[in-house]
């Protein structure tokens, strides 16, 4: 038995599973919130955000040692960009595999959530692409990228699970968009015409805003933490020390 990074297929499974379960948590708790509190949108958002905070924290703890628990294309993309400066982080084939796994997992997670609540899988009609919502996505994504990579750069990755969960939970409330901050999750939420859904027409704007936010977060990271590139292997959690036989 040797200590090294898990094989790519295993990391891909972890990313698919983690992103799928994350979307199931977001969509499923949104459906439950609609059913439990049909006349109180504020309470629905509280129920939805609380489930997401707790669920995301647990998923990072479980799957982080395998794949790093990115569950988010912008995190994987920034990891790849940073790693080009120091020969660390994801390779280009890794990046492509992560992006596919995350997107497929997100769509599957939405379908599973619909099925659990016996809600038919259908395309959302919830239009979210206002100027305020897009700015909210830039802010939410920039903060998320800065948080994740700052923790890795300062050897505080052990705090990633609660810190990322707490940030996303807060961003549900302080951003107008309720903090999607994740292109794969955005695509996955197309497939549920419920509280957590998003209309396909809103998706390109959201993804563009998330990519801009990622670039802003990366810029801030380089200014504040110049050594961040050397810690690309430790995002979101270090995943190069898993003992494996294959």
Total structural domains within the chain: 1
**What is the token pair recorded at 101?**
């796994």
Identify the weakest region by mean pLDDT among 7-11, 169-173, 233-237.
233-237
CATH code where residue 181 lies: 1.20.1080.10
Let me know if residue 240 belongs to a domain.
no
At which residue do the structure tokens 């994350």 appear?
A: 22
Collapsed DSSP state (helix, strand, coil) of residue 243: strand
* Dist. CA 50–CA 105, nearest whole Å: 22
Range of the domain at 88: 8-232
Where is pLDDT greater, at 167 or 236? 167
Let me know if residue 245 belongs to a domain.
no
Where is pLDDT greater, at 82 or 232? 82
pLDDT score for 233: 75
* Dist. CA 209–CA 232, nearest whole Å: 23
Let me know if residue 124 belongs to a domain.
yes
Let me know if residue 241 belongs to a domain.
no
Q: Which of the 8 DSSP states describes residue 236? A: S
Q: What is the mean pLDDT of residues 88-111?
A: 96
* Dist. CA 42–CA 54, nearest whole Å: 19
Q: What is the mean pLDDT of the chain?
A: 93
Let me know if residue 213 belongs to a domain.
yes
Let me know if residue 243 belongs to a domain.
no
Q: What is the mean pLDDT of residues 143-147?
A: 97
> Is the pLDDT reported for residue 243 higher than 60?
no
> Is the pLDDT reported for residue 245 higher than 70?
no
- Interior/surface letters 140-174, b for 16+ CB within 10 angstroms, e for the rest: bbbbbbbbbbbbbbeeebeebbebbbebbbebbee
Identify the weakest region by mean pLDDT among 77-81, 170-174, 231-235.
231-235
pLDDT score for 35: 96
pLDDT score for 102: 98
pLDDT score for 242: 46
> Is the pLDDT reported for residue 244 higher than 70?
no
pLDDT score for 3: 46
Please state, for a pLDDT cut of 70, what percent of the chain lies above it. Answer: 96
> Is the pLDDT reported for residue 83 higher than 90?
no
Let me know if residue 201 belongs to a domain.
yes
pLDDT score for 240: 60
Could you read off the pLDDT of 20-74 as tens digits, one per residue?
999 999 999 999 999 999 999 999 999 999 999 999 999 999 999 999 999 999 9
Where is pLDDT greater, at 90 or 84? 90
Could you read off the pLDDT of 101-144 as tens digits, one per residue?
999 999 999 999 999 999 999 999 999 999 999 999 999 999 99
Please give the angle made by the CA atoms of 165, 187 and 150, to the nearest 5 degrees.
35
pLDDT score for 87: 81
Torsion 186-187-190-194 (CA) sign: negative
Let me know if residue 3 belongs to a domain.
no
| Whole-structure pTM value | 0.93
């Amino acid at each position: 038995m040797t200590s090294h990074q898990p094989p790519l297929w295993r990391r891909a499974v972890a990313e698919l599973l983690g992103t799928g379960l994350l979307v199931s948590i977001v969509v499923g708790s949104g459906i439950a919130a609609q059913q439990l509190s049909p006349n109180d949108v504020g309470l629905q958002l509280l129920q939805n955000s609380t489930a997401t905070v707790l669920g995301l924290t647990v998923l990072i703890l479980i799957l982080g040692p395998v794949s790093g628990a990115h569950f988010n294309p912008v995190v994987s993309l920034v990891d790849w960009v940073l790693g080009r400066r120091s020969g660390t982080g994801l390779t280009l084939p890794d990046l492509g595999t992560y992006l596919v796994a995350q997107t497929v997992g997100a769509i599957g997670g939405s379908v599973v959530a619909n099925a659990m609540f016996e809600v038919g899988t259908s395309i959302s009609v919830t239009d979210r692409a206002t100027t305020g919502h897009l700015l909210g996505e830039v802010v939410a994504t920039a903060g998320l990228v800065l948080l994740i990579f700052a923790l890795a750069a300062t050897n505080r990755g052990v705090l990633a699970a609660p810190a990322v969960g707490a940030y996303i939970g807060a961003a549900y409330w302080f951003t107008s968009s309720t903090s999607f901050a994740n292109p794969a999750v955005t695509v996955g939420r197309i497939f549920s015409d419920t509280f957590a859904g998003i209309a396909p027409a809103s998706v390109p704007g959201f993804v563009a805003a998330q990519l801009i936010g990622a670039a802003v977060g990366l810029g801030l990271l380089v200014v504040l933490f110049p050594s961040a590139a050397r810690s690309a292997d430790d995002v979101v959690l270090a995943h190069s020390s898993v003992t494996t036989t294959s």
